[in-house]
Amino acid sequence: MNMPDMTVFAETESNVRGYCRSWPTVFTTASGSWLQDESGREYLDFFAGAGALNYGHNNPVLKQALLDYIASDGITHGLDMSTTAKRDLLETLRTKLFAPRGLDYKVQFPGPTGANAVEAALKLARKVTGRTEILNFTNAFHGMTLGALSVTGNAAKRAGAGVPLQHATSMPYDGYLSDDDDDSFRWMERVLDDTSSGLDRPAAVIVETVQGEGGVNLASAQWLRQLSDLCAAREILLIVDDVQMGCGRTGPFFSFEVAGITPDIVTLSKSIGGYGLPMALVLFKPELDVWAPGEHNGTFRGNNPSFVTARVALEHYWSDFTLEAATLEKGDRVQSALTTIASNFDGMSTRGRGLVQGLVFDDASLAAKVCKTAFERGLLLETAGPEDEVVKLLPPLTITNAELDHGLEILSGSMDSVCAGRGC
Ligand code: PMP
C-alpha cells in the first residue's frame, strides 16, 4: 500500500480532525457505495457519511437533477426567501411524506446541521411550554452545540463544552437498567409525578428511537409507545431526533413509524438533502408554531440545491414501499451474517434495525482494531458506543446484496485476523 502524503493535513488542519485518522488516505472520487483514493484504491463504504448518504455517493438520479438546476442558474443561496425549489420541496413533503402517513406538520428550515435542528427544537419546546427543563436519555447523542450537548450523554464530548451544561436530566433508555421495558419508566414516572422528587416539570423529552452514536441501542416499539403516552398524559412535548435514523435508515422513512406514534417535534438532517448536501428540518404540530417571524434565523437555511435533491430523493425513493422493504431485507441479511460472525467468538453479540447494525465486543479495544484491519482491506467502518465497543454498520440503503456480502466478508476476515487466538 503506497503511503499517501498527509503533511498538509497534519501541519495545517486542526487537531480536532477525527475521521481522517481512522481512514488515513486521501480520497478523490466516489460513486454509489464506493470511494476511491488518490492511489486508485477502492473502498467499500459501510459508514455512508455517518448516515448522510443513504442514497449513496453521487447518486445519478439526484446528480442529474442537481446538474440541471445549476445549469439553469437556479438559486443557490436563498436565505429563507421563497423560491421555486423550496415550493416544490414543501409540496413534495406534504404529498409524499406527510399525507400518506397521516401527519400534519409545519416545516422549519434551521441551519443545515443536525445540531442546528436540535437547538431549534429545544428552543421551540421551551417557548411553547414556558418551561426550561428537558429530559434526555442515557447514551444519547444530539450534537456538539451547547444545547445539543446538554442532552448528550458522552462525558468526553460534554467536557468540551467548557461551561456547565444545564437544564437537562438524563433518564434510563430502554434496556439501560434491565431487559424489562417497564423498568426504565418506573423511575421516570415516579420522579415526574412526585412533587418532592427535585425534578422540575420538563418542557420536553428528546429521544432517538435507535441510538446510533450511543452504540446501536434499540428502543422497542412498545417502549416508544409508553414514552409517548407518558409525555401526552403530562403535557410534556415529545421530540424524536431522527437526524441519523430518519430517511429510511431503519426501514420506514421515519424511524418512529414502527411504534405508530406521532411525535410533537421531529428533527431531520443528514440524508434529508438526499445527495449529501447540507440541509436540516424541524417538523412540528401546527399548534406548536409559536415562533415570531425571524425569531430563529440564520444565513444558511436556504441551501436551494439541497432542496432540489431532497425533493427528487423523496419522489424517487418514497413514492412507494420498495426502498423500505429492500432496507428491511438487507438488514436481515446483515444481521444473519453478523450473528454467524459473533457466534464464532466469545463475548460478542449483535443488535440493529434495518440498515443500522452493530457488532458488540466485550473487549472494546478489539472493535477499533477490527475497523483498522477492515480499512486496510478496503472497507470503511466506524465504532460507536460509550467505550467505542461496537462496530457500527451503516451502508448506503442503495447498496447491492453483492456489495453487502463483499463488505461482510472483509469484516469476517478482519475479525479472524484480529481475534485469532484471543477468543474475543
Ligand atoms: N442527532 C443525532 C441523532 C445524530 O446522530 C447527530 C450526528 N451524529 C446529530 C444529532 C448531530 O448532527 P450534526 O453532526 O449534523 O450536527
In this prediction, residue 3 has a pLDDT band, given cuts at 50, 70 and 90, of confident
In this prediction, residue 294 has a pLDDT band, given cuts at 50, 70 and 90, of very high
Joined grid coordinates for residue 141 = 447523542
Cite the residue boundaries of each domain of the chain with CATH code 3.40.640.10.
Answer: 74-317
In this prediction, residue 301 has a pLDDT band, given cuts at 50, 70 and 90, of very high
CB 256 within 8 Å of CB 209:
yes
pLDDT tens-digit series, residues 374-392: 999 999 999 999 999 999 9
Determine phi and psi for 81, rounding to 5 degrees: -65, 155
Give CA–CA dist 312/321, Å, rounded.
16
Residue 26 has pLDDT above 90, yes or no: yes
Burial class (CB in 10 A: 0-12, 13-18, 19+), 31: middle
CB 275 within 8 Å of CB 228:
no
In this prediction, residue 2 has a pLDDT band, given cuts at 50, 70 and 90, of low
Return the H-helix or E-strand segment holding 48. Answer: helix 48-51
CB 397 within 8 Å of CB 323:
yes
State the chain's mean pLDDT as an integer: 96
Distance of alpha carbon 379 from its chain centroid, rounded?
20
Give CA–CA dist 189/186, Å, rounded.
6
Strands 390-393 and 34-37: unpaired
Number of helices (H) and strands (E), helices first, in the chain?
14, 17
Residue 422, pLDDT score? 67
Residue 179 has pLDDT above 80, yes or no: no
Q: DSSP letters along 72-107, please?
A: TT--SB-TT---HHHHHHHHHIIIIIIGGGT---EE
Residue 312, pLDDT score? 98
What average pLDDT does range 42-65 have in this prediction?
A: 98
Task: Name the residue at shortest CA distance from atom 1 of ligand 1.
Answer: 142
Q: Check pocket membership of 213 for ligand 1, CB cut-off 6 A.
A: yes
Q: Check pocket membership of 382 for ligand 1, CB cut-off 6 A.
A: no
How many Cβ atoms from other residues are within 10 Å of residue 366's Cβ? 20
pLDDT tens-digit series, residues 314-330: 999 999 999 999 999 99
Give CA–CA dist 192/294, Å, rounded.
34
Strands, E assignment, 153-287: 168-171, 204-207, 210-211, 217-218, 237-241, 265-268, 281-284
In this prediction, residue 303 has a pLDDT band, given cuts at 50, 70 and 90, of very high
Give CA–CA dist 75/98, Å, rounded.
26
pLDDT tens-digit series, residues 86-134: 999 999 999 999 999 999 999 999 999 999 999 999 999 999 999 999 9
Residue 139, pLDDT score? 98
Joined grid coordinates for residue 48 = 455512508
Ligand 1 centroid vs 244 CA: distance in angstroms? 6
Residue among 151, 269, 306, 392 whose CB has most ligand 1 atoms within 8 A, to mutate: 269
Atom of ligand 1 nearest to the CA of 270: 15
- Secondary structure letter of residue 260 according to DSSP: T
Task: Name the residue at shortest CA distance from atom 12 of ligand 1.
Answer: 114
Residue 207 has pLDDT above 80, yes or no: yes
Atom of ligand 1 nearest to the CA of 143: 11
Atom of ligand 1 nearest to the CA of 211: 3
Ligand 1 centroid vs 143 CA: distance in angstroms? 5
Give CA–CA dist 242/406, Å, rounded.
29
The correct CATH number of 74-317 out of 3.40.640.10, 1.10.3720.10, 1.20.210.10, 3.10.20.30 is 3.40.640.10
What average pLDDT does range 292-306 have in this prediction?
A: 97
Percent of the chain with pLDDT over 90: 95
Cite the residue boundaries of each domain of the chain with CATH code 3.90.1150.10.
Answer: 7-59+321-419
Ligand 1 centroid vs 52 CA: distance in angstroms? 10
pLDDT tens-digit series, residues 323-379: 999 999 999 999 999 999 999 999 899 999 999 999 999 999 999 999 999 999 999
The CATH number given to 7-59+321-419 is 3.90.1150.10
Joined grid coordinates for residue 342 = 459473533
Joined grid coordinates for residue 379 = 472497507
In this prediction, residue 424 has a pLDDT band, given cuts at 50, 70 and 90, of low
Ligand 1 centroid vs 7 CA: distance in angstroms? 29
Residue 181 has pLDDT above 70, yes or no: no
- Secondary structure letter of residue 258 according to DSSP: G
- Secondary structure letter of residue 57 according to DSSP: B
Joined grid coordinates for residue 183 = 423498568
Q: Check pocket membership of 269 for ligand 1, CB cut-off 6 A.
A: yes
Q: Check pocket membership of 383 for ligand 1, CB cut-off 6 A.
A: no
pTM listed for this prediction = 0.98
Strands, E assignment, 326-381: 348-353, 356-361, 379-380
Residue 1 has pLDDT above 80, yes or no: no
Residue 272 has pLDDT above 80, yes or no: yes
Nearest to 192 by CA among 250, 231, 239, 141: 231
Residue 140 has pLDDT above 80, yes or no: yes
- Secondary structure letter of residue 359 according to DSSP: E
Residue 122, pLDDT score? 98
Q: Where are the alpha helices (DSSP H) in 152-303?
A: 155-159, 181-193, 221-233
